[in-house]
Homo-oligomer: A and B are copies of this chain.
Amino acid sequence: MAKNAISPTREENYPEWYQQVVKGANLAENSVVRGCMVIKPWGYAVWEKMQGALDSRFKETGHENAYFPLFIPMSYLEKEAQHVEGFAKECAVVTHHRLEPNGAGGLAPAGPLEEPLIVRPTSETIIGETFAKWVQSYRDLPIKINQWSNVVRWEMRTRLFLRTSEFLWQEGHTVHATEQEAQEETRLIHDLYAEFAEDYMAMPVLKGYKTADERFPGAVATYTIEAMMQDKKALQAGTSHFLGQNFSKAQEIKFQNEEGHEVYGWTTSWGVSTRLVGALVMTHADDDGLVLPPRLAPKQVVILPIVRKEEDRESILEYCDSLEKELSQQEAFGEKLRVKVDTREARGGGKKWQYIKQGVPILLEVGPRDVAAGKVFAYRRDTGEKWGVEKGAFTTEAGTFLETFQKGLFDKAAQFRRENTHEIDSVEALTTLFDDKGKEGSAPGGFANCYFCESPETLEILKPLKLTVRCVPDDQDHPVGKCIFTGKETTLKAVIAKAY
């Protein structure tokens, strides 16, 4: 097979490569509405796999799904000062509730609303208002709710999945009787997100907390998982916020505690979005297109009958059907395999290349000789390896094979991150690591591990370099060192990088 189904390659033009992989894999496309995307069936199927895995974990940990309004009264957004500052600049505002003829053959907005409504950019304020009614006594706590929904943040520069004006996500919102419980919840979800990213997406993540300037607007603490993309930039993949009593005070979420005193609740919120599909692409895709971790692949094995002579058709199709049935009885990751036979007329290898670009982990070709010999001709997407194998042997080993495939993707990404993580001990070294002198991608880049004292003046140095503190990792066990920005002694290290 010719190489490089995707043009340009990563090397040639990484941002454009990304767009072409998304397009080639039929994941999504831009719509006529600025910044809003159409998620195509294959992209949506990947998102559904993600949803399924996350949803069952949320439920196992005692959360319930619910649904809250799309619209937020403008005045609600104003209740938490930092929150409104964080979102006011990117709000879609509904001001009218009908259309009327404009007198020139077209339409014009009519029926002005007394109070404008904001299309939710996130739901703390509207959900908090409801929680305030639900919580009366300590017996009503904890409240642990999750919502699957769409949100809108008006973005000027958008990119499919990574930054879109409308996106799909889940947002968890909880209220607890004590600070400790709320902290524990925040951490529980932080861990859950990290496990999901590593076990399902095969995407290694750094776990840590955000510095003040990178926190969710209104949060006391924001915990994040950060992944390294193949251009060595960081991508924030999921955040869990400890909101303290900031929102409960703004929204009067109060309850009678066991001692009969009226006190404020402690709240958390947390979310991941369709952005994860973009992260998946940029972690595993190659110059032939998408590579899907088997655990999230809508189809893990696709069987392609190769019919060249009409007289072979029946026996080949029968063979493929029995292969599909047998494989579908096998298991990987505790679930039955997802297998499909594609019997559409072949058009010069086009079908096979389509599945390669869509990232299906294993393709099996079946021609007349394979039927005669009781074999299949296998192709694995990650390495491009091809081999003939006895049908029964392939079937019994398929589950294990997919699990190994999944682990291989993770290991490869972990190695890439290791190779591109640097211990940095001065601002000069940091500058050298990232300064591309105007030529994007010419500096080594990666993750910079630096001693760091959390001084706000750090920002002044990072901004011109287009760098951010991605997180202060949870695992801290360093001897005393000097903050590379202030020279102050500290045992903390932070990870600094360019980011999406």
Q: Footprint of B on A, CB under 8 Å? A: 29, 31-33, 36-41, 43-45, 48, 64-78, 84, 88-100, 106-107, 109, 111, 116-119, 126, 129-130, 145, 149-150, 152, 154, 166, 168
Contact = CB atoms under 8 A, between A and B. Distances in A.
Contact of A40 (B33, B66, B97, B117): B66
B70 A150 contact: yes
A77 B107 contact: yes
Given A44-B65, A64-B41, A99-B77, A93 B70 contact: no
A130 B98 contact: no
18 contacts: A31-B69, A31-B129, A32-B73, A38-B130, A41-B66, A70-B119, A71-B92, A71-B166, A77-B107, A91-B98, A92-B96, A92-B117, A93-B96, A94-B119, A98-B154, A99-B118, A109-B116, A149-B150
A72 B107 CA distance: 13
Contact of A97 (B48, B67, B93): B93
B99 A91 contact: yes
A95 B112 CA distance: 11
A67 B36 CA distance: 10
A430 B499 CA distance: 71
Contacts of A32: 73, 76, 126, 129
Given A71-B166, A166-B71, A98 B89 contact: yes
A32 B149 CA distance: 19
A168 B116 contact: no
A145 B45 CA distance: 12
A158 to B, nearest CB: 12
Contacts of A152: 70
A90 B98 CA distance: 5
A107 B95 contact: no
B70 A36 contact: yes
A362 B90 CA distance: 49
> By CB atoms of chain B within 10 A, which of A48, A68, A73, A99 has the most?
A99
Nearest to A63: B41
A98 B88 contact: yes
A92 B97 contact: yes
B96 A95 contact: yes
Contacts of A97: 90-93, 154
B109 A99 contact: no
Nearest to A98: B89
Nearest to A155: B97
A483 to B, nearest CB: 37
Given A74-B107, A129-B32, A38 B69 contact: yes
A69 B107 contact: no
Contact of A70 (B116, B129, B145, B166): B166
Given A44-B66, A93-B109, 5 more contacts: A31-B130, A44-B67, A74-B106, A88-B98, A89-B98
A96 B90 CA distance: 10
A95 B93 contact: yes
A69 B129 contact: no
A107 B84 contact: yes
> By CB atoms of chain B within 10 A, which of A65, A89, A92 has the most?
A92
B69 A33 contact: yes
Given A92-B94, A93-B94, A107-B88, A69 B99 contact: no
Contacts of A126: 31-33
A150 B147 CA distance: 13
Contacts of A84: 99, 107
> By CB atoms of chain B within 10 A, which of A75, A89, A100 has the most?
A89
A262 to B, nearest CB: 21
Contacts of A107: 74, 77-78, 84, 88
A71 B69 CA distance: 16
A99 B68 CA distance: 22
A40 to B, nearest CB: 6
A21 to B, nearest CB: 19
Contacts of A94: 92-95, 119
A79 to B, nearest CB: 11
Contact of A109 (B40, B48, B90, B95): B95
> By CB atoms of chain B within 10 A, which of A41, A100, A168 has the most?
A41
A72 B117 contact: no
A73 B33 contact: yes
A37 to B, nearest CB: 8
B33 A45 contact: no
Contacts of A71: 33, 36, 92, 166
B73 A45 contact: no
Contact of A106 (B40, B69, B75, B145): B75
